[in-house]
Amino acid sequence: MALNLDQARFNMVEQQVRTWDVLDTRVLDVLGEVPREDFTPSRYRKLAFSDLRIPLDHGQTMMKPVEEGRALQALSLEPGQRVLEIGTGSGFLAACMAQLGAHVVSVEIHASLAESALARLKRFGSARVEVINADALNEFSPNGRFDALVVTSSSRTVPDAFKDWVGPDGRLFCVRGNSPAMEAVCLSRRGERWAVDSLFETDLPRLIGAEDPQEFDF
């Protein structure tokens, strides 16, 4: 079984992630080191390395491995940097960022997801991840600014508060727009201005509290 897992992990990295323009060797190595199957809900464990989004509780999902790879590559994390993650989910992406040497603060609105992710992270040994059960759009207030911020759900536009939490020369990965053709982007702070790098099209669940305004028919 271990050999099959190793082969499936290798195939995921080489046949899916690398071929989706993820060429950063550090990112590829981390995706090959962090046991994605251990962060996948047990009922979907056999699908851990598949090119699909895996359902989580509360209508959330794990991003596809290729999407996670592109996000990690775009953030260009360096050891010792501080990262804020909005939406812990399974904890896998936080584990990958910590494996890259970052100190991660991960905010999860659903208590059950926060608890299960923290348990997985502890089993893996991710000491550089702090999981906080809070509403990122309301009650949460971070301590200082971050070198990078990643949002694992979507919003129609990027919340201004998230931009405020990114420090000088920092980067922000998020998914914006409307279903079914949302856009994953990486925003890079340049003083008071932002450079926008469009990465790929996707379709992720809405960030809780960032739902679209209600439309009325007259």
Q: Give the three-class secondary structure for 97.
A: helix
Query: Would you say residue 213 has pLDDT above 80?
Result: no
For residue 214, the model assigns a pLDDT of: 46
Residue 209 belongs to a domain: no
Residue 119 belongs to a domain: yes
- Higher confidence at residue 218 or residue 21? 21
Q: Are 174 and 187 in contact (CB under 8 A)?
A: yes
Residue 56 belongs to a domain: yes
Residue 216 belongs to a domain: no
Of the CA atoms within 13 Å of residue 69, those in its CB half-sphere come to 27
Residue 1: which pLDDT band, with cuts at 50, 70 and 90? very low
pTM of the shown model: 0.93
Residue 192 belongs to a domain: yes
Query: Would you say residue 8 has pLDDT above 60?
Result: yes
- For residue 148, give the CATH number of its domain: 3.40.50.150
What total of structural domains would you count in the chain?
Answer: 1
Query: Would you say residue 48 has pLDDT above 50?
Result: yes
Q: Are 72 and 94 in contact (CB under 8 A)?
A: no
Sign of the C-alpha dihedral, residues 164, 165, 166, 167? positive
Burial class (CB in 10 A: 0-12, 13-18, 19+), 190: exposed
Domain that holds residue 177: 2-202
Task: Specify the DSSP element, H or E, that contains 155.
Answer: strand 146-155
Query: Would you say residue 2 has pLDDT above 90?
Result: no
Residue 77 belongs to a domain: yes
Residue 100 belongs to a domain: yes
Sign of the C-alpha dihedral, residues 111, 117, 122, 125? negative
Residue 106 belongs to a domain: yes
Alpha carbons 165 and 70: distance in angstroms, whole number: 22
Alpha carbons 184 and 96: distance in angstroms, whole number: 19
